Chains A and B, each alone.
Chain A
Amino acid sequence: TQLLEQSPQFLSIQEGENLTVYCNSSSVFSSLQWYRQEPGEGPVLLVTVVTGGEVKKLKRLTFQFGDARKDSSLHITAAQPGDTGLYLCAGGGGSQNSGGSNYKLTFGKGTLLTVNP
């Protein structure tokens, strides 16, 4: 069974601070995706990373996929109240005996971020 562990589970910071959230697994994934979910809504795709060591930037957000494709991190610079939400990582694909598929995502339980003004 593939598992993704996210840390921290909760994070409350002041506007302007930087933060990093982590997503770790003992399994290899062919792709890793990050989503943000706001209350009462479905998750919104932020980024997909597919290559070990890959770094992607989206404005103030920086995503990194570990060299071994087992872990990922999301760094937010100068957080704003609009960044508040549940950040979810999801792994797609995986080893053949895990039954992985890019269409059958394994989600972490998320990091609930609150940015206070």
Chain B
Amino acid sequence: KAGVTQTPRYLIKTRGQQVTLSCSPISGHRSVSWYQQTPGQGLQFLFEYFSETQRNKGNFPGRFSGRQFSNSRSEMNVSTLELGDSALYLCASSLGRGQYFGPGTRLTVT
């Protein structure tokens, strides 16, 4: 089975722009979660989608949003980028306990 894939792997944006990241889960996995990883804060939960519905949400501002499609693929969007949004964004899919992560998208905001 193919693992979780994320595109793009690397992205450079400037402050004020918006960005969309994509995630394809493992086939058969309906839950997709997104995390932000930074050196200072570690891995922080953004949100989780299941069957196209946001089921759990972390403590991030409304500039961070996501959606899930009927084929379980998910996208997350960050609007009005700030320097502090520079991070590794990780997507994970799951069937239950235990999450399977993609390689991440490295976002740099300049």
Contacts and interface: CB of A to CB of B under 8 A. Distances in A.
Given A44-B101, A48-B97, A107 B55 contact: no
A40 B101 CA distance: 12
Interface string A22-43: 0000000001010100001111
Prevailing SS type, chain B contact patch: strand
Contacts of A109: 41-42
Interface residues of A, number: 25
A101 B97 contact: no
Interface of B: 4, 31, 33, 35, 41-45, 48, 50, 55-56, 58, 90, 92, 94, 96-104
A90 B48 CA distance: 16
B45 A102 contact: no
11 contacts: A40-B103, A42-B101, A43-B90, A45-B99, A101-B48, A102-B96, A103-B94, A104-B33, A107-B35, A107-B45, A109-B42
